[in-house]
C-alpha cells in the first residue's frame, strides 16, 4: 500500500530544495522573465551544490534522469520519488529556472531510461536536452522524419528539430531519429549528439509566452556524423520504439511534478492575498456556505491534491519496478490541465493584483501553459490512457 506521507528520509533534501527555490529561484524570477534568452548565472552555484548532493547518493535535486531498478524485497521510495518531490519544491520557486539547471535536462532522463552501463558512465556528467518535435511532427512521435543512416562506425543524422528545451545551453542533445522510415515505430532510436559535432547547428531561439528563463532552440542536422556507440540502448530495430518510449515513463511524472509545484505556488499566494482582503477560507464549513471566492479556492486546491497524488503514485511505481506508463500519462494529463486552470483561476480571484506584474501570478499563468503541452499534449495523454484502459492499439483508437 502507498503511504501518502512524504518519506522522512527526504526531509533534508526537500529542505535544501525549498531554500534554493525561496532564496535563488523566486527572487530572480521576474528578472529573467524580462531578460529572455539570458542564462541565470545564479544557477551555477546551485548546480555545484546539487552535484555534491548527487555524488553523496541522495539525488533528487532537480529534473535529472532517474533509472528504473529492480525492487527486490520490501517497498522502496528511491530516486524517482526523490526527484519528483525535489522538482515540486524547485518549481514552487520558478519553472524556467528548473528547466535551465545545468546537467538536469530532460535528455538526462532519456539517458537514464535506456542507456547501457557504459553509456551511463560516459554521459553521466553531461547536461543533455531532448530533441523530439519536428516542423511536421508534433504529438505523433512515430512520424519522425529525421534520419539516421549507418556509415561504418558512425550514424549520419539529417533533419530538423524544434522546441528543444535548453537546446543552446546544454552539453549534448538526445535526438530521436529513424533508422528506416519504411519500418515505422520500430526503427526509431535516440542518439546522444554532443555540442560541437560537425553538421549540428542551433538555427535560432524561440521567443515564448512563458518559461523565458529557459532557452528553446531550433536545431538542424546536416550530414551530422555521430559515433555508433552514441545510440542509446539496444541498436536492434526489433526493440526500437518500446525502448525509446520508456523515456516518457520517467519524464512525464517529472513534468507533472513541475505542474504541481507551480500550482502550489499560485495557490499559496492566492490564499495569502484573499486572507489579506478579509476573505475567510475554512475547512470546517461546507463549501456551499462560504463565499464564492473561498469556494473557488477550495475547489482548485482539491484538484491540485488529486494531481499531486497521481504524480506520487507514478513515481512510487517506478521505484518499485512496476510498469507505470498508464499512471505516468494520467499524472501528466491531470497535472498539466490543473496547472493551467489553477493559475488562471488564481489570476482571476486576485483581480488587478493577479493581472499585474507587481505579483508573480500572471507570470505563473503564462509559465503553466507549456506543462499541458510538452512531453505529450493533454489530448495525447487522454488518448494513451483510453487505449490502455480499453485495451486498444494505436491503430484501433486514434
* CATH number of the domain to which 322 belongs: 1.20.140.10
Antiparallel, parallel or unpaired: β 172-178 and 128-131:
parallel
The strand pairing partners of 160, in sequence order, are 220
- 246 & 386 share domain: yes
Query: Quick check: 326 and 385 in contact, CB under 8 A?
Result: yes
Antiparallel, parallel or unpaired: β 200-205 and 128-131:
unpaired
Structural domain ending residue among the three candidates 119, 145, 163 = 119
- 201 & 304 share domain: no
Chain CA centroid to CA 152, Å: 35
Structural domain ending residue among the three candidates 62, 88, 119 = 119
- 215 & 355 share domain: no
- 253 & 292 share domain: yes
- 102 & 212 share domain: no
CA nearest to 110, candidates 37, 181, 165 = 165
Residue 326: CB partners within 8 Å, gap ≥ 6?
Answer: 384, 385, 388, 389
Domain extent, residue 185, equals 127-235
Active site residue 23: no
Provide the grid cell at 377: 499534449
CA nearest to 371, candidates 214, 235, 136 = 214
- 136 & 273 share domain: no
Domain count across the chain: 3
CA nearest to 156, candidates 178, 134, 129, 139 = 178
Query: Quick check: 311 and 253 in contact, CB under 8 A?
Result: yes
Report whether pLDDT(110) > 90: no
- 245 & 386 share domain: yes
* Residue given cell 482582503 in the structure block: 277
Would 38 be classed as within a structural domain? yes
Q: What is the mean pLDDT of the chain?
A: 90
Mean pLDDT (whole number) for 72-94:
87
* Residue given cell 512531453 in the structure block: 375
Residue 66: count other Cβ atoms within 10 Å of its Cβ.
Answer: 26
Provide the grid cell at 35: 531578460
Could you tell me the pTM of the whole model? Answer: 0.93
Report whether pLDDT(64) > 50: no
Q: Which residue has the higher pLDDT, 55 or 230?
A: 230
Selecting among 134, 269, 362, 375, the annotated active-site residue is 375
- 339 & 258 share domain: yes
Would 3 be classed as within a structural domain? no
- 86 & 64 share domain: yes
Query: Quick check: 118 and 230 in contact, CB under 8 A?
Result: no
- 154 & 179 share domain: yes
Structural domain ending residue among the three candidates 187, 217, 235 = 235
Would 395 be classed as within a structural domain? no
Identify the band that residue 246 occupies on the pLDDT scale cut at 50, 70 and 90: confident
Q: Model confidence over 286-308: pLDDT tens digits?
A: 999 999 999 999 999 999 999 99
Amino acid at each position: 500500500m502507498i503511504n501518502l506521507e512524504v518519506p522522512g528520509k527526504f526531509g533534508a533534501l526537500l529542505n535544501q530544495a525549498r531554500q534554493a527555490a525561496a532564496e535563488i529561484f523566486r527572487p530572480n524570477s521576474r528578472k529573467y522573465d524580462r531578460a529572455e534568452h539570458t542564462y541565470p548565472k545564479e544557477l551555477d552555484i546551485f548546480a555545484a551544490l546539487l552535484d555534491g548532493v548527487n555524488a553523496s547518493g541522495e539525488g533528487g535535486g532537480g529534473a535529472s534522469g532517474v533509472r528504473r531498478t529492480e525492487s527486490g524485497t520490501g517497498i522502496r521510495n528511491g530516486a524517482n520519488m526523490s526527484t519528483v518531490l525535489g522538482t515540486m519544491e524547485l518549481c514552487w520557486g520558478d519553472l524556467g529556472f528548473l528547466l535551465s539547471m545545468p546537467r538536469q535536462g530532460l535528455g538526462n532522463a532519456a539517458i537514464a531510461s535506456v542507456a547501457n552501463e557504459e553509456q551511463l558512465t560516459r554521459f553521466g556528467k553531461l547536461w543533455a536536452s531532448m530533441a523530439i518535435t519536428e516542423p511536421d511532427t508534433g504529438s505523433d512521435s512515430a512520424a519522425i522524419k529525421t534520419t539516421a543512416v549507418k556509415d561504418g562506425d558512425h550514424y549520419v543524422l539529417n533533419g530538423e528539430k524544434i522546441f528543444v528545451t535548453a537546446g543552446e545551453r546544454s552539453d549534448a542533445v538526445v535526438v530521436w531519429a529513424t533508422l528506416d522510415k519504411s519500418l515505422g515505430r520500430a526503427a526509431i532510436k535516440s542518439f546522444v549528439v554532443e555540442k560541437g559535432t560537425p553538421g549540428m547547428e542551433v538555427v535560432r531561439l524561440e521567443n515564448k509566452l512563458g518559461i523565458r528563463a529557459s532557452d528553446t532552440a531550433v536545431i538542424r542536422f546536416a550530414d551530422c556524423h555521430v559515433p555508433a556507440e552514441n545510440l542509446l540502448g539496444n541498436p536492434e530495430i526489433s526493440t526500437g520504439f518500446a525502448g525509446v518510449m520508456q523515456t516518457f515513463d520517467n519524464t512525464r511524472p517529472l513534468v507533472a511534478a513541475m505542474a504541481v509545484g507551480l500550482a502550489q505556488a499560485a495557490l499559496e499566494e492566492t490564499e495569502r492575498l484573499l486572507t489579506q482582503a478579509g476573505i475567510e477560507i475554512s475547512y470546517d464549513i461546507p463549501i456551499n456556505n462560504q463565499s464564492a471566492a473561498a469556494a473557488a479556492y477550495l475547489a482548485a486546491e482539491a484538484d491540485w491534491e488529486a494531481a499531486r497524488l497521481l504524480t506520487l503514485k507514478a513515481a512510487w511505481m517506478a521505484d518499485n519496478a512496476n510498469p507505470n506508463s498508464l499512471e505516468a500519462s494520467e499524472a501528466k494529463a491531470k497535472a498539466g490541465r490543473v496547472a493551467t486552470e489553477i493559475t488562471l483561476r488564481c489570476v482571476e480571484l486576485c483581480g488587478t493584483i493577479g493581472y499585474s506584474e507587481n505579483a508573480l501570478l500572471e507570470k505563473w499563468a503564462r509559465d503553466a501553459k507549456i506543462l499541458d503541452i510538452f512531453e505529450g499534449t493533454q489530448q495525447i495523454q487522454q488518448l494513451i490512457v483510453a487505449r490502455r484502459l480499453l485495451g486498444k492499439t494505436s491503430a484501433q483508437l486514434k
